[in-house]
Each structure stands twice: as C-alpha cells, then as structure tokens.
C-alpha cells in the first residue's frame, strides 16, 4: 500500500520520537526508515560535522558519555537480574561488580561487596558456592544452604535466565514509557504517491485525497489504512476519499505484490498502490558537497528529480542513489517559487546487507519531512501491551538477523563492536533523549538475545549445561565444563577482535598504512 512511511532521503533525520507500532506488522506496505537500506550516510548530519569543525570536542564528549551511560545501564540491569533472583531463591552473593579492571568504588553491604570498576564493558555477580565441593569447588568457608551449585536445577536455571530476561524487560519498559509520555507518531491518511497502473490509480484516486474509509472500516490515519489493506483480499472493496470538501466513493480490487523486507528478501502483501504524503525538504547541506555547489539551502522542498515527481524521502533516496556520478536536475520549492538546481552526484562505494559492494550516488543533504505528524499517547495498560509487542517484534527481528549472519546470508562486515555502539549512541544522544532511549532499548534486546546463545562463557552456555544435566540426570564433569568454557572464551575474544576490526574499517583507521 504505502511506498514508505518514513523513508530516508540522501540522509533522512528520524522523527522526534520513534515509530512504535502496536501491531509490528508491515501493514499494507508501510515500511520504516531503517528498512530502506540507505547506506552509510556521510557528510554533515543534524548535529554532526567534520572532526575539526567547531564543537567537535563537545560531540566527542557526548559520544563518550552517552556510550558509558547506555552500556553501564544495560550491564547494571543485566547483573541486577542475576542478583535479585539469586537472593530470591536463597543463594548468597559475595560480589556485585559493574565493569572490569581497577576498582574505582567499593562498598560493603551486609553480605555482598559492591564494586564499580574502570572498564564499563561487562560485569559479574559472584555467588556463593558456584562450584560444588564434590567437584573441587571448596565449601569450607561458606554456608551450603546458600550455595549456587547445591540449589535445585530450576533455581539455577532461573538465576541465569534472569540476566537476559531483565534486558528484555528493560526494553519493554522503555517502549511503554515512550508510548505513554511521547506517544507514537501517526500520519494523516492523505495520499501522496499514486502508482501508475495500480488499483488506486485505475479507480481515480489522486494525490491530495484524504482517505476516510476502506472496505467499510473508518480510517483516521495512515496506520488505520495500513491495517485495513493488510486484511484485504482479491475482491472489490469500496474506498471513500475526501476531495475538495466533497466525499467520493470508488471501487477497487487490491493486488498481491512482492516487496523486499528488511533483509532484502521478497515478501508478499496486499497493495492498492498509494503512499503517504511525506514531502521531503532539506534540513542540512554538507559543506563542500555537490548539493552546496548546486545552490541547495536548508528549507528547500524537493518536488522532483529529473522531472519525476517526488513524494517521500525514500523516493528521493532511490532517485539519487541510482545516479552515481550522474548529472541531473532537481526541482525545488523555495520562498513560494520553484527553481531548477543541477547537481552531479558523488560516487560512493558501500556494502549492501548481503555483503555485495555497490556504487551509489550521494549529493550531501540531510532530509526531513513536512508531513503533519501527530502523536497519539497510549494509556498505561495499552502502553504496556504495546511495549511487550514491540519488544517481541524487535527480538524476533534480532534472532532472524543473527541466524542470517550465522548462515552467511548477511555479510559478517555488518557486525559492529564497541566503537560502532559508541558512535551510534553519540549520534542518537545529539538527536535527543527519545532517540537515545529508543537506541538503548534496541541494544538491550540485542544484549539479551546474544547472551542466550549456547556458547560457554555466556548465560546461554550455562543454560545449555543445565539442559544436559536435566537430560543425563547429572551435571557434566567440572573438567569438561572448564574445557568448553575456555573454548567459549576464545571464540568470544575472536568475535570481539573481529567486531573491533570492522569498527576500525568503518572509521578508515588503516589509511595510515596504505
């Protein structure tokens, strides 16, 4: 149905609050900015600039502080899950530590030592009797009633599961809070793009029409229309629109169409061939860019590329990207008048999600939209439900992406490490608290999912050992577990090194050696 609800232009800025949909489905071809694969957006973004530009130090401080806050919070919540459930089932906790390396702060509770260490890249909860005395784990200095290794299997399972579980709970809480305080952005059901030859075009629907009902279902916004179309079939339905103060009813037959999903794989859905009115306008112009040389200014509204009308940032993105090195004209609206600006796009080489290197065009502009977005707040109960649904949707998306990485359907160069997280945390922080909160929720989900992988040294590895213990009726020997832990540690170190290498490649840190 929609050609892109919030696509990107040469670089599209997110709306003030993330688009939290209560259904999570791709309703009638309603797609989001992150699904358009606009690539690595170089040049000045809102709040961004060249490293040597004024304010560069402030940006670096924001990046470091936001990274420490985000990662520190996620580690705290994760370890707090282990800690609280351990105490709940009667396991003693000797130490609760956030971070590794030199201890910066240390204080002693009644039973537990609490530590804050210098390197905020992890944490741990040291429990009493983590190894059974029958396996050489000691036991003389602690109370067997509080020993982790002597607790029933279900109790140990819950303690380990609580860490990743708390990360998912945090994400749901963030989503629900944002839905209550900020609301979710919804677009008016005003038609922008009408696909030539599509059902809507054949029925006489025009740009600017406001949809009021579809198949007898009232339509108040684009989200309503998306849900109605997603439930359609290949039977004639009545679409009611408002045009020039008059109401018109037209009959059309939805069509089945195939579009790429987030991972570029074909996905079938019902479609009527219309998109929302998301007029793109220029928010920033990168210094020295083709756009600056062509005379673009912030505030310009882009109406057409090479004579083809543009209705969404996604369409502008695609029109520019498919013309690397090309010279073409953009029709822009400025101060009530129209003018033609001729630009030659830069050639940029980047990797597609499948790892294929492609060449795209870029002219160095930031894109925002002029849609009449409204924010609909949810009540507490509805927000909790929507937050849980959003967490589930993002979790399944993360699992799918991880599977595609492991099966080499997605190139491993997409793996990011601490530098990538820090860079993105800083970028989101500069866009505002809402963007940073949304980013924190996404990273929290990623942390929870990754920790559930059945790799020794991760929580999922411990759960894997517990599953073996349940199947055999006894735990694996300490020696076997130690060997597997060492292999898991080596695997994680290799993954960390590779992720850091990818981060450095993105920053072009090896240019000095060329």
The catalytic residues are 79
Sheet holding 246-252, edge to edge: 217-218, 210-214, 237-243, 246-252
DSSP H or E segment with residue 74? helix 56-88
Kindly compute the dihedral angle of the four CA atoms of residues 85, 110, 93, 159, in this order, to the nearest 10 degrees.
0
Q: At what angle do helices 380-406 and 433-451 cross, to 10 degrees?
A: 50
What is residue 45's three-state secondary structure?
A: coil
C-alpha–C-alpha distance, residues 179 and 161, integer Å: 27
Give, in order, the Cα–Cα distances in Å from 237 to each of 10, 59, 170, 507: 37, 53, 43, 52
The HSE-up count of residue 432 (CA atoms within 13 Å, CB side) is 11
CB atoms near residue 190 (< 10 Å): 20
Q: What is the DSSP string of 186-216?
A: E---BEEEE-TTSHHHHHT--TT-EEEEETT
| The token pair that represents 303 in the structure block | 């109406």
């Amino acid at each position: 149905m929609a050609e892109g609800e919030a696509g990107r232009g040469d670089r599209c800025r997110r709306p003030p609050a993330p688009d939290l949909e209560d259904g999570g489905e791709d309703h009638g071809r309603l797609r989001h900015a992150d699904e358009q694969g606009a690539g690595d957006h170089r040049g000045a973004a809102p709040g961004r600039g060249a490293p040597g530009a004024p304010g560069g130090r402030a940006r670096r401080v924001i990046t470091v502080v936001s990274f420490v806050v985000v990662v520190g919070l996620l580690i705290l919540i994760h370890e707090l899950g282990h800690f609280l459930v351990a105490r709940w089932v009667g396991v003693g906790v000797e130490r609760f530590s956030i971070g590794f390396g030199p201890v910066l702060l240390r204080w002693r509770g009644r039973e537990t030592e609490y530590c804050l260490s210098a390197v905020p890249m992890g944490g741990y909860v040291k429990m009493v009797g983590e190894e059974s005395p029958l396996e050489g784990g000691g036991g003389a200095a602690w109370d067997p009633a509080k020993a982790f290794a002597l607790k029933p299997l279900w109790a140990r399972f819950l303690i380990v599961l609580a860490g990743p579980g708390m990360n998912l709970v945090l994400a749901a809480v963030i989503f629900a809070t944002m839905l209550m305080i900020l609301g979710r952005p919804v677009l008016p059901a005003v038609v922008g793009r009408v696909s030539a030859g599509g059902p809507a075009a054949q029925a006489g629907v025009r740009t600017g029409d406001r949809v009021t009902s579809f198949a007898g279902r009232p339509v108040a916004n684009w989200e309503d229309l998306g849900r109605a179309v997603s439930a359609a079939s290949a039977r004639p339905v009545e679409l009611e629109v408002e045009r020039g103060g008059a109401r018109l009813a037209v009959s059309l037959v939805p069509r089945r169409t195939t579009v790429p999903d987030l991972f570029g794989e074909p996905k079938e859905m019902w479609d009527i061939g219309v998109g929302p009115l998301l007029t793109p306008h220029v928010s920033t112009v990168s210094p020295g860019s083709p756009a600056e040389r062509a005379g673009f200014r912030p505030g310009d509204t882009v109406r057409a590329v090479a004579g083809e009308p543009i209705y969404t940032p996604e369409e502008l993105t695609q029109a520019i990207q498919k013309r690397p090195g090309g010279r073409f004209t953009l029709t822009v609206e400025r101060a009530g008048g129209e003018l033609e600006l001729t630009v030659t796009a830069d050639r940029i080489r980047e990797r597609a999600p499948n790892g294929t290197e492609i060449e795209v065009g870029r002219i160095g502009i930031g894109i925002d939209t002029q849609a009449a977005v409204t924010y609909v707040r949810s009540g507490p109960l509805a927000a909790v439900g929507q937050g849980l649904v959003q967490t589930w949707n993002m979790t399944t998306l993360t699992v799918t992406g991880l599977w595609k990485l492991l099966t080499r359907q997605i190139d491993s160069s997409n793996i990011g490490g601490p530098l990538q997280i820090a860079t993105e945390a800083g970028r989101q922080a500069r866009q505002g608290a809402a963007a940073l909160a949304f980013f924190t929720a996404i990273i929290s989900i990623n942390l929870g999912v990754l920790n559930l992988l059945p790799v020794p040294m991760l929580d999922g590895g411990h759960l894997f050992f517990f599953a073996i213990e349940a199947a055999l009726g006894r735990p694996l020997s300490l020696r076997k577990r130690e060997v597997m832990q060492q292999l898991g540690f080596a695997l994680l170190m290799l993954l960390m090194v590779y992720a850091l290498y990818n981060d450095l490649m993105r920053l072009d840190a090896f240019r000095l050696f060329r």
